Amino acid sequence: MKKLTPIIQWFILLSAILLPFLVVRFFPKLQHTTDLHTFGEWSKAWEKDWTMVYVNCESCNYPFIGTLLSGGVMSTIDFENTARINNRFRYYLAIVDGINVLAIWFILTSLQVKRAPLWAGVIGLLPTSWIGSSAWGQIDGVGQFFILLFFIVLIFLNTKPTTLKRYLLLAAAGALLSLMLLTKQLIYFSMAVLGLILLVNLFQGVRTRKDLVPSMLTVALAFILPILFIDANLQLPASYISHIQYILATGSQHGDIISSLGFNVWVFFSDNLLSSSHLPLQIGSLSLAPLSPYVAGLSLFFALNVALFFLFLRDLRRHTTSDLVGFNKDQLISALIYFSLVNLGFNLTLTGTHERYLYHFYPFVIMACLAWLARADKRVLLFSLFAGSLFYGAFLYGYLALMIRPLNLIAIRLGTFIHLVLFVFILYSWIRNSNSQAVSPSRT
């Protein structure tokens, strides 16, 4: 039986890679037709003149790379039939989902997680890894790839590379942050926290302060130059100097309503989730004017991020040694937890969140929990995360199958309660693990 174990592990990994293709093939109607129709409109404007896409297409509100990887890719699919175009486009997204499974396997292997192929396959099989991307017809899987690749670069950056390799890795990290900025607004929360993780790693990863300036300059140039190059080749409506400025100014104002099927705490204070988030906050019959869910959400999100950042720094210090340069394995796990909690935190605190906004949460927190298992008993947490992931996947399926709508208060409030409990559980486990674990000098 032991001889079969590796075969079973690789079979599960392969199944996870192939599953998105099978879903697209055998469930062609399980898709978000509105998003795919929108990408179709963008593809026509892209094909006409990609440099004028923001002038010729008023509905185009993704940054350039996101527009390229949605409407631009769709414009290359040569079919008259819309259904066939949509399915071919979703096959392309399925390829990205499959690559992401391999990236998860690499990260788990680097963190020395036992049976890494098995667990990478399990994560890939969870609906949360594909239903919001290839099944849906959205490009969030591409953003996921950039995030996973960033963590891979971070792993290599902390393996004592040569000076040349170190600067190449720093340039890659900066370029990936730039690609995130240029892909889609949802990933901006992830990009911000990854930027902070990289900044802390830079301070901890230099032996002398004089090495810090060229390191930061390398990252900054790799981040800024792609944006400047793209803006230099685009035509924009008058008064805009950057297409990033344009999409942020003209994009939809999601935060103006309580919730768009997203799980945030404000759904407990309103019976109409599509109502304005700028109205005074109501607690029963008590009005807390001038405080509104919108303002309260921003304030809570800011305070939460400050607290999580200081907890991250505290955890790094508890897992460091005097001779350590860069992150060790425990600190990389802490970075994954910090990243995951910020993604879950903005969903719970900000108004106007959407149903797919948890896409960048589950794979990363599960990877961190699996790496924790080697150091502490986190089986209950792991089981809870799998249960939450299955619930969330079922919720997304219910939306695509037209069973859940924005006014389904029970389902949305239940989802909010589940993820609020998960947030507290993860935070408690992180703090407890930080307090109880001895310093480990182990390197990746």
Q: What is the pLDDT along the chain (444 residues), one digit of tens a residue?
A: 455 588 899 999 999 999 999 999 999 989 999 999 999 999 999 999 999 999 999 889 999 999 999 999 999 998 878 889 999 999 999 999 999 999 999 999 999 999 999 999 999 999 999 999 999 999 999 999 999 999 999 999 998 888 899 999 999 999 999 999 999 999 999 999 999 999 999 988 776 677 889 999 999 999 999 999 999 999 998 889 999 999 998 876 778 899 999 999 999 998 888 889 988 887 877 777 788 999 999 999 999 999 999 999 999 888 776 566 678 888 999 999 999 999 999 999 999 999 999 999 999 999 999 998 766 667 899 999 999 999 999 999 999 988 887 778 899 999 999 999 999 999 999 998 877 754 444 444
DSSP calls for 253-309: -GGGBS-BB---GGGGS-S-TTSBTTSPPEETTEE-TT--HHHHHHHHHHHHHHHHH
Q: How many CB atoms lie within 10 A of CB 69?
A: 23
State whether 416 and 311 are in the same domain. Answer: yes
**Residue 385 C-alpha from the chain's centroid:** 16
State whether 405 and 312 are in the same domain. Answer: yes
Which tokens belong to 43? 């593809």
Last residue of a domain, one of 217, 250, 283: 250
Q: How many CB atoms lie within 10 A of CB 102?
A: 16
In contact, 406 and 274? CB cutoff 8 Å: yes
Last residue of a domain, one of 223, 250, 277: 250
State whether 20 and 131 are in the same domain. Answer: yes
Last residue of a domain, one of 250, 266, 298: 250
State whether 316 and 421 are in the same domain. Answer: yes
State whether 361 and 240 are in the same domain. Answer: no
State whether 195 and 205 are in the same domain. Answer: yes
State whether 352 and 423 are in the same domain. Answer: yes
State whether 57 and 190 are in the same domain. Answer: yes
Domain count, the chain: 2
Whether the predicted model's global pTM rises above the 0.75 cut: yes
State whether 304 and 427 are in the same domain. Answer: yes
Sign of the C-alpha dihedral computed for residues 352, 346, 390 and 272 taken in this order = negative
State whether 152 and 258 are in the same domain. Answer: no
State whether 38 and 130 are in the same domain. Answer: yes
State whether 178 and 280 are in the same domain. Answer: no
- Range of the structural domain that residue 428 is part of: 252-444
In order of 22, 203, 228, 334, 335, the CA distances from 427 in angstroms are 36, 25, 39, 11, 13
